[in-house]
Structure 1
C-alpha cells in the first residue's frame, strides 16, 4: 500500500500537470500560485507539526553537518567531472544539478512513508540548509558560469541583506521555531495531529509535483541526455549514499537519522535546478535532462531498494 501511495503521490500530479500543459488549460500564474502555496503555506504547517514531535538530542544537532556534506561534496565532485565541458552554460547547469537534490518533496515523502514523522522533521533541517545554500552559494555559482560565457543576460540587480534572508519563501522557518519551542518546553502533541499531519504530507506532495508536470519538457530532455548528464547518476546514487553512510556509521547511533540521511543523499536532481538555470541564462535543457533522467532512475531503482532496506 505504501508503494502504491508513493507512486500515486508522484506520478499522479506530474501526469495531470503535464496534461494541463499540453492542452494549454492553465496560465503561468497558476503555476506560481501552487508553488507559493506549498512553500509558504503547507511547508510552514508541516514544519510546525514535525518539529513539535521531534525530540532534540545531541545527535540531532549534528544533522546540519551531514546536510552540508550532502550539498558541498557533490559540488566539488561535479566541478571535477565536468572540467572538460567547454561550454560554461552547460557546465554550470551540470554543476548546479549535481548539488541540488529533490530532498524536501520526493525525499521527504519517501522518508515519511518509510520512517515516520520524526524522519520528516530531520528532512526539514536538510531543506532549510538547501534553501540557504541555494541563495548564498548556488546563485553566485550560476552567475560565475554566466559571466564565463561572456553574455549580457541574467540578473544584475544587487540584493540587499533583507531581500536575501527575509522573504516569504523562508516563512516555514517560523513554523520550525514554533514547533521546536513547544517540543523543548515539554508540551505534548495531541494524538489527533498524527492523521492530520499524514494527510498534509500527501496534499503537499500533490501541490509540489503538479507544477513539475507543468514545466516538463521531454523533447528538450532527450536532446540533452548525453554522457555529461549520465555522469550524475553514479554521483547521485552510488558515491554520495556511500559517503553519507560511512559518515553516519561513525557519528550516529540513531538508525532513523542514518536512514533519513542516506535517503536524502540519494535524492535525484531537484526541479529548482531548472529555475536557477533559467534565472541566470544557463542551459535549462541540460538541467531538465538531469532532472528527468535521475528521477526515473530513482523511482525505478532506488525506491525499491529503500523499501526493502527500511520498510
Structure 2
C-alpha cells in the first residue's frame, strides 16, 4: 500500500485518479477546498463516492491557507504527491486573475514548501497544453519553446513548472510536470465545452461554436489519462548525473531530478466532428451559432507522445466514438435526463 496525497481530489481528474488508486489498494488523502468556480454539489458527490473506501481520508482546506498543506503532509507523510488542485479555465482567468495568483502560484508555493520539509518519493504536478501558447507547433513537443502564453491561466501554469524545477534543483525533490490535453469523460467539468454542449442540446438551447467548428483539440479520455498518471508515478526522474535520457525527446533536467511530459493522445479532432458525435450519442440535433475564437484560446492542440511512450509504453487511446457516449450515459444517469 502506497500513501498518496492528491490535491484537488474533488475535481474531475483528482476524483478519477483517487478512485483508481483506492481500487488498486493504495491509501489516499484527498485535499480539496470545494471552491464554487463550478457546481459544488458535483464535487461533493465525487468525494462521497471516494469516502466509501476506508482507505480514503478527506481534508477540506484551501491551498493558499498558511500551514494547511504543511500540516497535512506532516501528519499523513505521503510517499507520492499528485498536485492537481488549481484554479482552472482560460476565459475565467481574464475575469478573475487574482484567484489564479492565490490558488496556482501561492498554493503551489505552499505545496513545494510542504514537500521540502517532508520529502516525498515523487511529486507529480499538473500543467496544461495551454502552456504552449502562441509558440504552439503541431504536434507540441516538450522541448519546444513555451514563452508566449496567451492566457493568464497558462502564464500561471508555466510559472508553477518553473517553481517546481527550482525546488527540484535546490532541494532534490523528484518532480514530474505533466501537460494535460483537453481531458473529458464521466464526472467531467461543467465549465468545459462537452458538458456545456450536452446540457444545452438536451434543453433545446443553441450552442456557441467557435471558428465555425474548425478548431481542433487533442481530446484525452479520463481513463487513459489516469492510466498514464499511474504509470508515470513509478518513473521517477533521476538526480543529476545519475540517469540517462530515455529518448531524444526527454526533458530530464541536467541540474535537477525534474522532467516535463505531455499527456494526450496525439490525434486531434475538429470541434464540428466532436459535436456530430455528441449529437449521435444524444439522439438530438444541435442548433449551432458560429462565433470567432475568444481571447486566450488557441485554434489547435496536438500532443507529441514520444516521451510519454518512451517512459511508460503505449497508453490506451479511447476514440471519441467510445468516450463521448460514455460521458452521455453518465450525464443522463447523474442528472436524470
For normalisation by structure 2, the TM-score amounts to 0.25
| Greater RCO, CA 8 A, separation 6+ | 1
For normalisation by structure 1, the TM-score amounts to 0.27
Structure with the higher helix share, 1 or 2? 1
Structure with the higher strand share, 1 or 2? 2
